[in-house]
Amino acid sequence: MKVVKRVIIIGVLIIIIALLATFIFSRFYKITLIGDQDIYLNIGSEYFENGYKATLFNNNYTNVKVTNNIDTSKIGDYYVKYSIKFLFYDINVKRNVHVVDKESPIITLNGDKHIYLNEHQKFEDPGFSATDNIDGDLTASVIIDSSVNEKSTGVYEVTYKVSDSSKNESIVKREVEVIKDGLLTTDVDKFWLKGSFEDVILKYEENAYDYFDNTIFLGDSNTTFLHLKGNFISAKQTWGKNNLNIAQINSSVFTTFVNRNDSTLENAINLYKPKYLIISTGINAPLYMRKENYISETEKFIKYMRENHSDITILFTATFPITTTGSLNISLQKKINEYNYYLVEICHKYKVNFINFSDEVRGEDGYANASYFDCVEENDCGFHLNKAGREKYIDYIKHLNFERSIQ
């Protein structure tokens, strides 16, 4: 009997000790998560475990089991569980992992982001598509909001908006400019500046003028090649560099070839004092410059010259066309036409003479006549004048009346 009592007492003591140890363990054992308790992952991304810190009596404790049920390929709520079992006590700490879709749909517009429309011409949307990483094709879900008024000139917006099942939203806008003049809306083969803006577009005349030797040419590679490839103009007449555009003419440097120095516009003018200055705004403009910047930079140049060098006669020359089989995408020709239109319109506004050589080297299809353009390598084909083109250009320049007054 005494033995039984002793066993019971011992058993009770063991239980009390175990409970006390468990109680002490639970009071002094602690798991602290490193990082946030709630983590949001974009679907398909990799989960990175930030870890934890486990202590017992403020000492590091490492016997922690870490498990998770995360599946980053599916949207849902998951967890990472940090746990330890001690006698009668289970300690569990959870980190919540939410796999979500944070990627917005992609709206792709067909055609240009800036469309020209003749007044009273019906606007026909070129179309669009919308795709999402989870929902797939959302084209049918796109909501269109258009302010276009074909009966009144002005710039209008067409807004395309779509949301996916996770409520990620995308908005893309297209500008529609309703105009009176039809040139900007016409097809490439019908775009000819001949017959337009006759007040500023110089006409080729039978007799040559003697302005040429007092003329400096400023522009991109098509300008510098006039000197470098055949010496059609002298080094003293050549200012420019590859890819030069009107913004760079205003604020950057170019090469003055007579001494091969880099110079600003102001320094070059003060040093060489040209009487006539022919400016090419360059193919870089329709390739990369926004319409608004192109116009503002061109006007900035004219105002600067008028205010500081009014004794110099400035003339602008049209950007040359491109061939259909060259290095550049043929869609660029429409942009070249548009920028030539902006340029001649600015010339009309500020009464500056304009050299329309572009129309002289285009075929009936509206693209460059390949017989006037080089194709020397894959990346240099169809946009630089060749020898015949340069000869024709210089002959054209010599038969223009630079001093013709503009009414």
Summarize pLDDT for 37-75 with one digit per residue, the tens.
999 999 989 999 888 888 776 667 777 888 999 999 999
Q: How many CA atoms lie within 13 A of 125 on its CB side?
A: 16
Other CB atoms closer than 10 Å to residue 220's CB: what's the count?
Answer: 24
Range of the structural domain that residue 68 is part of: 28-100
In the structure, what pLDDT confidence band is assigned to residue 279 with cuts at 50, 70 and 90? Answer: very high
Nearest in space to 115 (alpha carbons), one of 282, 335, 367 = 335
Residues 130 and 165 in one domain: yes
Residues 359, 226 share a domain: yes
Query: Token digits for 218?
Result: 């400023």
Q: How many distinct structural domains can be found in the chain?
A: 3
In a domain, 10, yes or no: no
CA dist., res. 176 & res. 172, Å (int): 13
Predicted confidence (pLDDT) per residue in 339-395, tens digit: 999 999 999 999 999 999 999 999 999 999 999 999 999 999 999 999 999 999 999
Instruction: Name the residue type at position 96.
Output: N
- Answer whether residue 181 shows pLDDT above 80: no
Residue 196 resides in a domain: yes
Q: Do 69 and 203 fall within a single domain?
A: no
Q: Which of 133, 158, 179 is a domain's end point?
A: 179
Asked whether the beta carbons of 160 and 171 are under 8 A apart, the reply is yes
Please report, for the domain that includes residue 312, its CATH number: 3.40.50.1110
Residues 136-170: b if buried by 16+ CB within 10 A, e if exposed:
eebeeebeeeeebeeeeeeebebebbbbbebebeb
List the structure tokens of 238. Answer: 């050549």
> Residue 11: pLDDT above 70?
no
247 and 391 share a domain? yes
Q: Give residue-wise pLDDT tens across range 116-153.
A: 888 777 899 999 999 999 999 999 999 999 999 988 99
In a shared domain, residues 230 and 348? yes
Per-residue tokens: 271: 């040093």
Q: Rounded to the nearest 5 degrees, what angle is found at the Cα of 231, between the Cα atoms of 228 and 236? A: 85
Domain end point (choices 136, 162, 179):
179
pLDDT tens-place string over residues 189-217:
999 998 788 889 999 999 999 999 999 99
From 155, 179, 203, give the residue that closes a domain: 179
Asked if 222 and 376 count as a contact pair (C-beta separation under 8 A), the reply is: no
Domain assignment present for residue 265? The answer is yes
Q: For residue 20, tell me if it sits in a domain.
A: no
Pair 218, 307 in one domain: yes
Residue 403 lies in a domain: no
pLDDT at 406: 80
User: Angle, nearest 10°, between helix axes 291-308 and 332-350?
Assistant: 30
Tell whether 371 and 248 lie within a shared domain.
yes
d(CA 330, CA 381): 12
The two tokens of residue 94 are 């959870």
CB 139 within 8 A of CB 130: yes
Residues 385 and 363 both lie in one domain: yes
pLDDT at residue number 65 = 87
- pLDDT(296) > 90: yes
Q: Which whole-number Å values give the CA distances from 407 to 61, 196, 349, in the listed order?
A: 92, 15, 11
- Does 20 have pLDDT greater than 80? no
CATH code of the domain containing 66:
2.60.40.10
CB 222 within 8 A of CB 385: yes
pLDDT for residue 26 is more than 90: no
Whether 16 maps to a domain, the answer reads: no
Q: End-to-end alpha-carbon separation of the chain, Å?
A: 133
Q: Domain check: are 135 and 117 in the same one?
A: yes
| Same domain as 351, residue 204 | yes
Residue count of the chain, please give it: 407
